[in-house]
Chains A and B, each alone.
Chain A
Amino acid sequence: MYYELAMTIAAALGFVYGAFRYLQPHKPLYASMIVLGTGCIALGHLYSFLRLMTGFSSSGVFHVGILGTIGAFSFFFSANYGQIDSLVDDGREDYNKYRLIPFIPVAVIILMYIWIMMSPATAAERTTDGIAAIFIGAAAYFHMKHLVIPDVDYGVVRCQRGYNALALAYGLLCMTEKGLIAYGINDMLLFVCISQCIITLFMIPVMDKGVRAWSR
């Protein structure tokens, strides 16, 4: 419960900071979508926190708190794929290796999901974790791609490498958290949760720094 509260506060702080900076007309839609993604994280964890606080069960059943993670990665994927990717990748053949390297985190996420599938978790948990893994994997592909691809024309992606590294780490930590919950490993879970809180807190300020650098 305290983890859910900590995540809600961390993500809400990022969201409020980002909302004042970017949820306005004539601001980059890319940044607005990342801010909304952070809002999704806050909302999902707020729901989970309130569910626990009001005495509803949340373990072993499907509940909409998980949709916060799915929504967040959907926004992150949309921001990178819909807004930025075409600026750095025009389909040229010599960039093929930069399109293949990003499959590494996707493969890691698939392996983590196989690990969850072998756990004693309920069918509902495995199914929702699988759906979340699809969105985390799709977003992770573009986070990794924008970390490695040479940005020769605009310099937009180069400025956002810090944010992409944090978002990629957050995605991998989300999968780790699901695995640890599935196996009931609570000692490591605390470390993973603290890391997630710290990353969520820094994600928007780092993205903001990148946006300022490219719009300078």
Chain B
Amino acid sequence: MEQMIQILFVCIAMPMIPMLLILPDKRSRLILGYMITGAVICLVAGQINTLLLHAFGNDMDYVTTTITPISEELLKAIPILYFALIFSDDRDTLLSISFALGIGFAVLENATILTQYIKSVTISWALARVIGAALMHGACTACVGMGMSYIRKRRKLFYSGTFALLITAIIFHATFNVLVQSEYRAAALILPSMVYIPVVIMTMIRNRKNSTDVHTEEQDI
């Protein structure tokens, strides 16, 4: 059981690696690559969190509501920072890959928790994990990715802006963890949806506006 997270990583994330070589376009490969990276980060975070738990005297409540949100958000930010520094600081690309990384992380985390509570899990538990944890990890990492889009354009904004967005992600994550461990578990499910739904609506409106603009320009030509 101790190696369960590694076994799950091999079973879930590794089969996606051959698919990376088959996918035809660069964007799909990038998104899938970052989903796999998310699973790798989850694997690393699992080991680090175990060490942190020992360092804080096995106080599970304190560590999960205060320490793991910091360690996990910092770890998830590293691949996004690497991409923004080396490859591109395009805002849409950064948002897509950071959300994919968050989802990859959540998939392995959900699978690990599933094996820990295998006898008591239900469909409603699984749905709650999807609505709650998966959206929360996706939204938190996307939040950090947004700040990194300023890495080359405005350096003055990048340093403090990304730091501030990272802090926002940490508090959001910690708030979710506090609620999920309390009797107000339902509120923990609403919290990520409250962020995700407005973002989706705004993105849809923006995409529709962009496609209308392109259509109008084509008609003008």
Partner of B168, one of A25, A39, A55, A63: A39
Which B118-177 residues sit within 8 Å CB-CB of chain A?
A: 154, 156-157, 159-161, 163-165, 167-168, 170-172, 174-175
Partner of A74, one of B156, B163, B178: B163
Which A56-75 residues sit within 8 Å CB-CB of chain B?
A: 56, 61-65, 67-68, 70-72, 74-75
- Within the complex, the shortest CB–CB distance from B52 to chain A, in Å, comes to 13
Distance A37 CA – B163 CA, assembled complex (angstroms): 12
| Interface residues on chain B, size class | 20 to 34
Cβ B171 vs Cβ A56 within 8 A: no
Does A182 sit at the interface, judged by CB under 8 A? no
Distance A62 CA – B183 CA, assembled complex (angstroms): 23
Does B6 sit at the interface, judged by CB under 8 A? no
Distance A56 CA – B61 CA, assembled complex (angstroms): 8
Cβ B66 vs Cβ A82 within 8 A: no
Q: Whose C-beta in chain A lies nearest to the C-beta of B175?
A: A47
Cβ A74 vs Cβ B160 within 8 A: yes
Contacts of A33 in B (CB 8 A): 157, 161
Cβ B164 vs Cβ A75 within 8 A: yes
Contacts of B62 in A (CB 8 A): 56, 61
Contacts of A171 in B (CB 8 A): none
Does B184 sit at the interface, judged by CB under 8 A? yes
Given contacts A47-B171, A56-B65, A67-B171, contact A82 B178 (CB under 8 A): no
Cβ A64 vs Cβ B70 within 8 A: yes
Does A107 sit at the interface, judged by CB under 8 A? no
Contacts of B170 in A (CB 8 A): 64, 67
Contacts of B174 in A (CB 8 A): 47, 63-64
Cβ A62 vs Cβ B66 within 8 A: yes
Contacts of A99 in B (CB 8 A): none
Cβ B164 vs Cβ A71 within 8 A: yes
Distance A54 CA – B204 CA, assembled complex (angstroms): 37
Partner of B161, one of A43, A51, A64, A75: A75
Binary CB contact string for chain B from 200 to 221 against chain A (1 if under 8 A, 0 otherwise): 0000001000000000000000
Does B69 sit at the interface, judged by CB under 8 A? yes
Contacts of A172 in B (CB 8 A): none
* Chain A residues proximal to chain B, CB less than 8 Å: 25, 29, 33, 36-37, 39-40, 43-44, 46-47, 50-51, 53-56, 61-65, 67-68, 70-72, 74-75, 77-78, 81-83
* Chain B residues proximal to chain A, CB less than 8 Å: 61-62, 65-66, 69-70, 154, 156-157, 159-161, 163-165, 167-168, 170-172, 174-175, 178-179, 181-184, 206
